[in-house]
A and B are shown apart, each in its own frame.
Chain A
Amino acid sequence: MRLFLLFAVFVVLGLAFESAGARIFSFRSLIPNLIIIFAVDLGLRHHGVVPAILAFTMGYATDAIAGSHPGLNAFMTTMVFLVSYEISTRLMVANAGVGATVVFFGVIATALGTVAIANGFGALSSTGPMLPGLALQAFITAIIAPFIFSILAVTKRLTGLPAGATRDGHGRERRVEL
């Protein structure tokens, strides 16, 4: 419940920042995709059913303020969570560098996946002009990701939640560096 409330606050602030920022900055690529950072943090550090539901809910909340097909962002955010989870269960160390890399590819995959699902895979051939801006947004998001991970870790500690160590599906503890 604490995890849910904590992420609810971060998601509301993150989405409000992204929506207001998109209106203020004419160059949209400068606004990082904070929801992907939150989804990656959940996937790398919180292994369970509740974090999966939380990732889906974050995406569904994003659908309320972004995109034209309800369910699209929910799908992509859950997918990013799942990929992050799979990576963290296969790597011995899931540090901020790994997180930032997953965030970088997560932002690009989310955008292209959104276009492909909404318009068909044929529409991907028209995405050439948006790729430089998308790569810049992914880079900026990846750069700030470690900082956001740290903020999340501090607030988790303050609220008494586990911030670092996680357990895999077999009950073995994985070491997570922040």
Chain B
Amino acid sequence: MRGSFLWRNRVLLASGALLILSLHLISTGVHPGDLAARPQSAFLEVISPVTGAFTHLSDGASSITRDYLELVHVRDENAHLRAELARVKSDQARLAELEVENQHLGELLELKNALGTNAVAANVIGSDANGISRTLVLASGTDNGLRPGMAVLANQGVVGKIIAVSPKASRVLLVNDHNSALDGFDQRSRARGIVAGQVDDGVMLKYADRSQDIRSGDTIVTSGLDGIFPRGLLVGTIQSVHREGPGLFLGVKITPAVDFRELEQVLILTQPPPVLEDQAKD
């Protein structure tokens, strides 16, 4: 057995089989409810609390470092004053943090009321682990009513959509990811196109006809025709329009309205937007 062809090449054969399995998963995709989705959900469920713990730990460490550096300059003060100062600073930082969080949640609540649909807020606890794709990890999952395909918003505009969920965590594909696409239009000229992320971190308005009057500074909003995002949500502003070169379509670069690195809380629409007849005709 040990000298046989199969035994000598067992690593190569096993790796080859696993590579074929990987390609099968890539080509067919993993859908919610599939057998292959269960380990993914379990991995996300196991990793998300540890990620949350790391985030809290690093927040605490940076807070301690900041406090220490400040205290170096007040070394002459007595121990009571230093302790008091640290306590006050800690309280101040905590209150400031609560104030910011309160402000964010207030803005999300206003957005939720303005949209008039069911929505839940969630904290952002992590980003894409390998950095090639642009995704976020949220500290809410199926226990909070989240499902794949739901729209994710911030008070500044569209963030992305949910692509994977576990009971207590979920992942969001950002609009600037190179696999992301949504239906949008220029609010001034009404020119439609597909808002798609690029590999180099940019966002483009694809398939905009050359005859369309699209200009830098125009606002791009969602059309509502994709059945995920309600109509009229801010996506971004046009950064540049390239009319040179061959091709049927314009090269339109968009600056997203949302700064994805600064996101702390987001709003998830748990109810799909109503598709109106006049939207489809537009």
For B261, the closest partner residue in chain A by CB is: A26
The interface-forming segment of B68-76, B127-135, B225-233, B250-258 is B127-135
A51 vs chain B, min Cβ distance (A): 8
A53 pairs with B14, CB closer than 8 A: yes
CB-CB contacts of B24-54 with A at 8 A, as 1s and 0s?
Answer: 1110011000001101110110110011111
Contact of A71 among B12, B23, B135, B201 (CB under 8 A): B23
Q: Which range contains the number of B residues in contact with the other chain?
A: 35 or more
B178 pairs with A24, CB closer than 8 A: no
Contact of B50 among A16, A23, A28, A127 (CB under 8 A): A16
B16 vs chain A, min Cβ distance (A): 8
Q: Which range contains the number of A residues in contact with the other chain?
A: 35 or more
A16 pairs with B47, CB closer than 8 A: yes
Q: A64-B164, A66-B129, A68-B179 are in contact. Are A126 and B50 (CB under 8 A)?
A: no
Q: A60-B39, A64-B40, A123-B178 are in contact. Are A23 and B25 (CB under 8 A)?
A: no
A12 pairs with B129, CB closer than 8 A: no
The residues in A between 61 and 86 inclusive whose CB is less than 8 angstroms from any CB of B are 61-75, 78-79, 81-82, 85
The answer, yes or no, to whether A130 is at the interface (CB within 8 Å) is yes
- Residues from chain B with a CB closer than 8 A to the CB of A65 are 43-44, 47, 51, 126, 128-129, 137, 171
The answer, yes or no, to whether A20 is at the interface (CB within 8 Å) is yes
B8 pairs with A126, CB closer than 8 A: no
For B22, the closest partner residue in chain A by CB is: A75
For B46, the closest partner residue in chain A by CB is: A12
User: Binding site of A, secondary structure by majority: helix, strand, loop or mixed?
Assistant: helix
The interface-forming segment of A92-100, A112-120, A144-152, A155-163 is A112-120
Bound-state Cα–Cα, A42 to B176, Å: 34
Q: A12-B47, A49-B10, A66-B129 are in contact. Are A72 and B54 (CB under 8 A)?
A: no
Interface centre among A12, A71, A130 (most CB of B within 10 A): A71
Q: List 13 A-B contacts (CB under 8 A).
A: A12-B50, A18-B130, A19-B51, A21-B54, A23-B126, A31-B131, A35-B129, A59-B22, A68-B179, A69-B29, A70-B25, A71-B25, A111-B132
In order of increasing CB-CB distance, the 5 nearest A-B pairs are A71-B25, A75-B22, A19-B126, A20-B54, A64-B43
